[in-house]
Amino acid sequence: MKQTILFTLAVLTGTLAMAQSAKQVNWTFSAKKIGDKTYEVHMNAAIGGDYHMYAQNVGVADGPIPTSFTFTKSPLLDLQGAPKEQGRMIKKFEEAWKHDVNYYEKTVDFVQVVKLKSNVKTSLAGKVEFMVCDDHQCLPPSTVDIKVNIGG
């Protein structure tokens, strides 16, 4: 009985911690046509409070979890390279990692260029994983689903 209660408590605590991390970043997704069958997909992160979110290239191998994107393969579109970061990147030594790390405060826009294979309406789907910290603590990494309508 004790083990069941402790296990349930541990699961609830972990779930609440994960939810806290996702609450610190508000993601918005949009698409903008930039050419014939070519679109920019904007994945904007608004970072709350005194937290910062790490770049895709965090700058150290054994450090914080970098922001990463995983897109669902689609026969209707091609990804053109990797997402580009638009925002004010900060490079700063963090004692917790004993290294300079790259991160963003307040906001960052990740831009993925996609090209449709034909004039169709589809969507870009996937996930973004990210981690936020402030000067006192890091929250567990979170994953957010991505779905953006393209074409049409």
Average pLDDT, the chain: 88
Which pLDDT value is given to residue 7? 39
Reported confidence tier of residue 18, pLDDT bands at 50, 70, 90: very low
Across the beta sheet with 107-116, the strand order is 25-35, 38-47, 107-116, 77-86
pLDDT digits 0-9 by tens, 71-90: 999 999 999 999 999 999 99
DSSP state of 64: S
**Going along 36-134, which residue ranges are E strands?**
38-47, 52-54, 68-71, 77-86, 90-94, 99-105, 107-116, 121-130, 132-133
Residue 17: pLDDT over 90: no
- How do residues 104-114 score in pLDDT, each as one tens digit? 999 999 999 99
Task: Give pLDDT, residue 148.
Answer: 97
- Of 23, 25, 35, the residue nearest 110 (C-alpha): 25
Q: Could you give the CA distance from residue 24 to residue 9 in angstroms, rounded to a whole number?
A: 23
pLDDT-based confidence at residue 20 (cuts at 50, 70, 90) = low
- pLDDT of 41 > 70? The answer is yes
Summarize the confidence of residues 12-20 as an average pLDDT. Answer: 45
At residue 68, the pLDDT reads 98
pLDDT of residue 152: 75
Question: Is 2.60.40.1250 the CATH classification of the domain at 2-151?
Answer: yes
Task: Say which range, 15-24, 46-55, 101-110, 117-126, has the weakest mean pLDDT.
Answer: 15-24
What pLDDT is recorded for position 23? Answer: 86
Q: Any idea where the domains of the chain sit in the sequence? A: 2-151
